[in-house]
Structure 1
């Protein structure tokens, strides 16, 4: 049988070391010898002896926070030995390696998988009010390990060394050390141009030293820690939980 489909670039990529790596820019391959965490529903194929355990029903700690913040796509623990392939609606996949002392704040909708050595929690995005269309809560990752994130299209990485403003629905992740806030469009001169609305109701602001990853797409919040409906219903209880 002959076809360009069977060309070398489409064949499974092998590596001697276990871990998360790119099969291509839309497929993540996990060469598994232990465990890692992944988004429920992201597995598209696997080989070997692999177990999948849903983690959305604990009722305490992070999992309680996920539920109260409108969490719609819980995590699963993937363990065993073999090869696991993951994807998310043909989105582009990018790998980020964190070292001790690093902190990454990321929209939960863009988390695909991560090493179980990483610590994560759901935190309030400080300075971003309820009126914003952006997710009020983000996943914050610390520790040492690799995380796979998704973007819709090729992103731009902005170095924050001056005041930086981003559409909240296009902001994927940023250095957790940055100071965040938000501005109404009218404050930025974007509310109306020649009497017409620009469609930009709010803009997130970033200050400090670090980076912001921005995708060329604006989508409603959602995912691991971002569904707006749950955020707006939980009020003070969420504030107490997520302020821990």
Structure 2
């Protein structure tokens, strides 16, 4: 059989029926979620296929209370989720970005809202806001804090890098390249330019997120811009 035949192509690309982990990477850019009469939260619009008896339901805008409603109304990031429930396999992806699977054990992480692909029903989510003008101008205003025990899938452009934060060694990052950080850290947004300059900014390099204390920060080799400022 030729290596370029249709049969060879299908055999090399078909899903792996031998693996049935709850969260499983079918390819570096595609997540398979195996459901057994349970549900998960997935990024709205991320479902690319499914097998079995699965139903999908948009997250209520009121879930999480009126505070979360206000934040979801204001943000253009991926804070809106879809509930996938039933028994079968769900395949999710996000614009060809690489998928990173994490398992939290009574832990918490903060994630850029646009970079959350899916999380277990046992994980609690809370939208948090960086209260500064720099945050609003950078498009890094909203993050989601994920807490508890269970699976989380996040996405990155390319291969990410973890930077360790030490008490005597703070880490500074570009907000648009910052994907996630350990839940114990509370970043500050810094800028060295005037407010007048902010209104006409062309890149994220005027802004930095400062992480102090002890923990880690995940960055990607790409500046992902969520809001385009109008001049």
Q: Does TM, normalized by the shorter one, top 0.5?
A: yes
Contact preservation (8 Å) 1:56, 1:63? no
The aligned counterpart of 1:211 is 216
Pair 1:39-2:64 in alignment: no
Q: How many residues align?
A: 214
| Aligned residue among 134, 139, 148 for 1:143 | 148
Pair 1:176-2:215 in alignment: no
Q: Displacement of 1:134 after TM fit?
A: 3.7
Alignment CA distance shift 1:15-1:167 (3 Å) = same
List alignment gaps of at least 5 residues for structure 2: none
| CA offsets 1:109-153 (integer angstroms, 9 cap, x no match) | 001111010001111236774454141121000000111100111
SS of 1:117's equivalent? coil
Query: Take 1:173 and 1:72, find their aligned partners in 2: how far apart are those partners?
Result: 14
The aligned counterpart of 1:105 is 110
Alignment CA distance shift 1:65-1:14 (3 Å) = farther
The aligned counterpart of 2:88 is 82
Alignment CA distance shift 1:86-1:29 (3 Å) = same
After TM superposition, the score normalised by the length of structure 1 is 0.78
Pair 1:156-2:161 in alignment: yes
Report 1 or 2 for greater relative contact order, CA contacts < 8 Å, sequence distance ≥ 6.
Answer: 1
Contact preservation (8 Å) 2:68, 2:127? no
Q: How does 1:4-83 map onto structure 2 within 5 Å? A: 4-8=8-12, 10-14=13-17, 19-33=22-36, 34-58=38-62, 61=65, 63-71=68-76, 73=78, 74-83=80-89
List alignment gaps of at least 5 residues for structure 1: 192-196, 222-226, 230-244
RMSD value over aligned CA atoms? 2.7
Q: Displacement of 1:167 after TM fit?
A: 0.6
| CA offsets 1:178-198 (integer angstroms, 9 cap, x no match) | 1311222469xxx9xxxxx99
Query: Take 1:152 and 1:228, find their aligned partners in 2: how far apart are those partners?
Result: 19
| CA offsets 1:60-95 (integer angstroms, 9 cap, x no match) | 616514433324652111000111111111111100
Contact preservation (8 Å) 2:77, 2:113? no
